[in-house]
Amino acid sequence: MTHDREWAADLVQETFLKAYQSTRSPASITYPQAWLYRIASNIALNALQRQRRFHWVPLETSNESSLEMPLSSPFLPMEDFTVSVAERDAVWQVLVELPARWRAVLLLQTVAEMSVHDIARHLQLSEANIRKILFRAKERFRILHLQKEGETRS
Amino acid sequence: MTSLNHPWLERVAAYHSGGIDEYEQHAVEQHLATCAICQNALFAYQRFYSLAASPLRFG
């Protein structure tokens, strides 16, 4: 559907995360493959639709420090109507650069809102390891954000 | 000491991730009350989580 191996891998990851977050009990799912396929298709279709609807604004063509998003946008929660170019670029860069397992750790905490303890148990890693991974991801974002803010100002 | 090598950042990040004991939580909160570098870092971590939770929403 995506014609992009890496993007497809990300969407598969999102699919399993969504399935994991589902409130449905495994016993109530008669055809698990069909259920997973439906989730994956919806996620891929939504991603393709979003890609058509939004486009990147390169830093060099924008002098504004923030992007005003339309109030009707269905994809942004209220608190995120204004997202700076620096922030958006930094988040994407961190997510793209992270090794897949680290990205999974980050998404399990940010999207699935799992505790450090639960992530450690789920991935069979120590809590100290999970904290280290999260610290590195957060610091990568903070430093990139500082750098990009500096570039935007200069 | 700069905001890049501040020794409390790892503890602030752990505080932000949750699951630390009460003693450590109290120590970090006391430090946060007086350290602008860590206050800014905590704000950045919170912002990062808020945006990373829905990366495709603004891409």
Burial tier of A115 (Cβ tally within 10 Å: 0-12, 13-18, 19+): middle
User: Among partner residues B10, B52, B59, which is closest to A110 by beta-carbon distance?
Assistant: B52
Residue A74 — very low, low, confident or very high, per pLDDT cuts 50/70/90? very low
What is the pTM (predicted TM-score) of this model? 0.60
Q: Which of residues 11 through 50 in chain B touch A, CB cutoff 8 A?
A: 13-14, 16-19, 41, 44-45, 47-50
- Residue A56 pLDDT more than 60? no
Across the range B5-12, mean pLDDT stands at 92
Distance (Å, whole) CA B19 – CA B16: 9
Across the range A128-153, mean pLDDT stands at 86
Distance (Å, whole) CA B52 – CA A106: 8
**Beta carbons of A107 and B54 less than 8 Å apart:** no
**Beta carbons of B48 and A91 less than 8 Å apart:** yes
ipTM above 0.85, yes or no: yes
Across the range B35-58, mean pLDDT stands at 81
The SS3 call for residue B6 is: coil
**Beta carbons of B59 and A95 less than 8 Å apart:** no
How does pLDDT run across A80-127, given as a tens digit for each residue? 445 667 777 778 788 888 887 788 888 888 877 889 998 898 888 999
Which residues does chain A have within 8 Å of residue B16's beta carbon, measured at their own beta carbons? 138
Across the range A53-79, mean pLDDT stands at 40
Average pLDDT, chain B: 86
DSSP notation for A66-102:
SEEPPTT-TTS-GGGSEE-HHHHHHHHHHHHHS-HHH
Radius of gyration of chain A from its Cα atoms, rounded to whole angstroms: 18
Buried b (16+ CB within 10 A) or exposed e, A33-58: eebbeebbeebbeebeeeeeeeeeee
**Beta carbons of A109 and B55 less than 8 Å apart:** no
Across the range B15-44, mean pLDDT stands at 94
Across the range A134-152, mean pLDDT stands at 84
